[in-house]
Amino acid sequence: HNNNPREQEPMKYLPVKGDAENGEMSMPRLPLSEAKEVVERMFQRYSDSNFNAELWKARHNNNPRTLAYCAAVSRLMRDARDEILSEFGLPTGPDGDVALAIAVAEYHFDADMTVLLNLNDEILYDSETPMVQGGLALPKKQVLQALREMIHVFVDPVFQRKLRYVKVSNRKSMVDDCYRLKGRDNIVRPIQEEILKRYAVPGGQYIAVHGFFQMFAQYIMDPEVAAHGTAINLLLGMEPPACKHFVDRLREIAVTDPPASKPPPPRPPPPGKSAKTDTVSLKSW
């Protein structure tokens, strides 16, 4: 008989379909004490000398804009994280990374959680050279911190109620393209702009958010960056298959296109694929 309540009652986590009529979705939840324990346990794994040696080799031997880099780092992260995720009732693999990103974001401004996340970021990313995109050079660590702040706001029930009202008032369901949703930008864009001011991202209104999106896209091969971007897309109403297409498409662009100050033009959708899905994958938040 298994007395572990976390195993007896699996936690609901994104991505899941919600109530199509009112746009509700289940959110991953962990008590603060467990969320801290998860992050602290990961810090212990990341601090291991063998992990650090393998991480150095993965980054030293692979261009960070290649799928080889993505595969090498992802394997390391899976070895370090999956057992811990499972122990706390979270899914393993990329879905687990997304669920954890949402669950931890609830406590983003807790002092202890901030310290633990910063310690993990220092181990994983301090030795990396920031990429430059359109004159903007944000270290990966700062990109992740900004993404966490966005998730912290977007996961809040008050924000989700506002988004649900926009969906319902426009008769939109969970399967609709959230980026074509009338009124969506009015509640999302001001939040993003306010967060990005704290990271000295230049430009106002659309320019700052678009510039940050392009900076985020430069780091899309990193599994943590991809997971946090997916979490944001899910919280803003994108369907899980479209979220996967979003990441896959950005990685395809990263491999085939050199860094540029302007985003690549959208490619026409292949035969049999709607233009709507391809547009979703290329449009910034």
Per residue in 93-125, pLDDT (tens digit) is 999 999 999 999 989 999 999 999 999 999 999
Distance CA 111, CA 241 (A): 35
Q: Which residue has the higher pLDDT, 110 or 168?
A: 110
Would you say the pTM of this structure is higher than 0.85? Answer: no
Q: 29 pairs with which residues across the strands? A: none
Instruction: Indicate if the pLDDT at residue 77 is higher than 90.
Output: yes
Residue 283 pLDDT > 70, yes or no? no
Using one digit for the tens of pLDDT, what is the confidence trace for 250-260? 999 988 765 54
Q: At what angle do helices 49-61 and 67-87 cross, to 10 degrees?
A: 150
- Residue predicted with more confidence, 238 or 280: 238
Bridge partners (DSSP) of residue 19 are 24
